[in-house]
Amino acid sequence: MLDPSKARDTLENILNRKEYRVYQDGTKGLLETWWEKAKEWVADRLSKLFPSMESASSASGPVLIGIIVVVVLFLLIFTFFMVRNIRRNRTFREKKPLQSLKEMNWSYQKHIEEAKKQEEQGEYTLSTRHLFLALLLYLHDKEWLEARIWKTNWEYYEELRKIHQFRADQFFLLANFFDEVTYGERKVSKEEYRNFSIEINKWLAEHEVEHLRERR
């Protein structure tokens, strides 16, 4: 008959053997192994930060889950903004604001008139387009840039940057809004249009002041 004490000792020897531990570790999934190591790492850090904490090991699970959730959320937000910026910059570099000779041949004053007409009808998308083209042609008249049908907003930005960095940065923001409305199918609210119109008119108002000074 098998002696129970000897059987227990034999079983403990088998379990303590290196070969069995390697086999046991190998049967664990990779994620499970990483998870255990991560919990051990968190528990170790918690015990160093809070020496009086007796339950660092047991607390490491919830803490680790919280850390993982925060990190995943951060990565998702970071990825979202990164993808959006990549798409925005691609549009900025590829799309051309002037689509026809008719738009090019209009004066910036005529584009302003058309923008006001579209605004009265509640067509804020079209009004946004004409306001931006008015700004573009206004800058062309001032010889700050050279408006052409084949040019992109990125090229206009680069031309402005050579003259005035601050102006170029302002133009960049307005051009991004224009691109989102025109090519990104963004629906413009009345409030958004009003803010956009205010910024455009700040540029155009300077021309009127300069014109009055010249007439004096």
Per-residue pLDDT tens digits for 80-105: 656 665 565 555 456 788 888 888 89
Where do we find the tokens 């004066």?
107
Question: What pLDDT, on a 0 to 100 scale, did the predictor assign at position 114?
Answer: 95
Alpha-carbon torsion (136, 141, 145, 150), positive or negative = positive
Q: How confident is the model at residue 191 (pLDDT cuts 50, 70, 90)?
A: very high
Spatial CB neighbours of 56, under 8 Å, sequence gap ≥ 6: 43, 44, 46, 47, 50
What percentage of the chain exceeds 90 in pLDDT? 33
Q: Are 153 and 95 in contact (CB under 8 A)?
A: yes
Q: Are 79 and 101 in contact (CB under 8 A)?
A: no
Q: Are 201 and 207 in contact (CB under 8 A)?
A: no
* Cut 0.75: pTM above it: no
Q: Tokens at residue 90, please? A: 């691609």
Q: How many CB atoms lie within 10 A of CB 39?
A: 18
Q: Tell me the domains of the chain and their CATH numbers.
A: 4-91 (no CATH), 101-215 (1.20.120)
Tell me the CA distances in angstroms from 166 to 138, 173, 186, 207, 211, one per residue in order: 17, 11, 26, 18, 23
Spatial CB neighbours of 199, under 8 Å, sequence gap ≥ 6: 170, 174
